[in-house]
Amino acid sequence: MNLNYLPTAPPVARLIEELHKLPGIGPKTAQRLAYHLLRSPKEYAQSLAEAIIAVKERVVLCSTCQNITEEDPCLICRNEKRDKSQICVVEEALDILALEKAGSFKGVYHVLHGALSPLDGIGPEDLKIRELLERLKGDGVAELILATNPNLEGEATAMYLHRLLSPLGVRITRLARGLPMGSDLEYADEVTLARAFEGRQEFR
């Protein structure tokens, strides 16, 4: 197939534009992905489209922890073997996958769906902080573990949560600095995450 004319074809231009909106996808990568889809069998494109639609139609947020799930509440919140007295606060659902893979934490989670970033216009009202406060109203929570990413936004979020939640009398800890500054939880290895949990400290 002669693809020379395709960059000017409106459907291809739209596909490249939509792919470019994805995080980490630059113009060149968007073009390569678009051409890859063009050269792929029609069934592959249909399968990809169906998977995207299924995610938007069937995946919801857990009403308890705000994790992404197909059933509400999610599997972790439904698990009676989990320690409900410990809540680990993370920025994104991806962070839960990393922590669960490490296998060191047996409590439950709370997903903020982001971090404070005034430059990007993200304030406390844009995060799932109100839902976290609702969870802390009962007497069952003994420890809140702040596992936000060790970067500027994550640190700012942890400091904000500490100031906001300290008056509630719940023990607040932070993952140990075994996690390198400027990195994200999803890229940390299992050993680093396990040691970070073991060395968590009182938040000061």
Domain boundaries, the chain: 6-58, 82-202
Percent of the chain with pLDDT over 90: 74
Average pLDDT over every residue of 119-127? 96
Q: In this predicted structure, what is the pLDDT of residue 203?
A: 76
Residue 154 has pLDDT above 80, yes or no: yes
Q: In this predicted structure, what is the pLDDT of residue 7?
A: 53
Q: Give the containing element (helix H, strand E) for 175.
A: none
Q: Which CATH class is domain 6-58?
A: mainly alpha
pLDDT tens track for 56-98: 999 999 999 999 999 999 999 999 999 999 999 999 999 999 9
Q: In this predicted structure, what is the pLDDT of residue 1?
A: 38
Average pLDDT over every residue of 12-38? 94
Structure tokens at 138: 């009962």
Do residues 45 and 37 lie in contact, with contact meaning Cβ atoms separated by under 8 Å? yes
Cα–Cα distance for residue pair 40/44, rounded to 1 Å: 6
Q: Choose among 200, 141, 147: nearest CA to 169.
A: 141
- Average pLDDT score over the chain: 90
Q: Please name the amino acid found at residue 15.
A: L
Do residues 82 and 106 lie in contact, with contact meaning Cβ atoms separated by under 8 Å? yes
Residue 198 has pLDDT above 80, yes or no: no
Q: In this predicted structure, what is the pLDDT of residue 96?
A: 96
DSSP β-bridge partners for residue 146:
89, 174
Average pLDDT over every residue of 113-141? 94
Q: In this predicted structure, what is the pLDDT of residue 153?
A: 94
From 2-6, 109-113, 186-190, 194-198, the region with the lowest mean pLDDT: 2-6
Confidence class for position 182, pLDDT limits 50, 70, 90: confident
Q: In this predicted structure, what is the pLDDT of residue 5?
A: 42
Q: In this predicted structure, what is the pLDDT of residue 4?
A: 44
| The listed CATH number (1.10.1840.10, 3.40.50.720, 3.40.640.10, 3.40.1360.10) that belongs to domain 82-202 | 3.40.1360.10
pTM value is 0.78
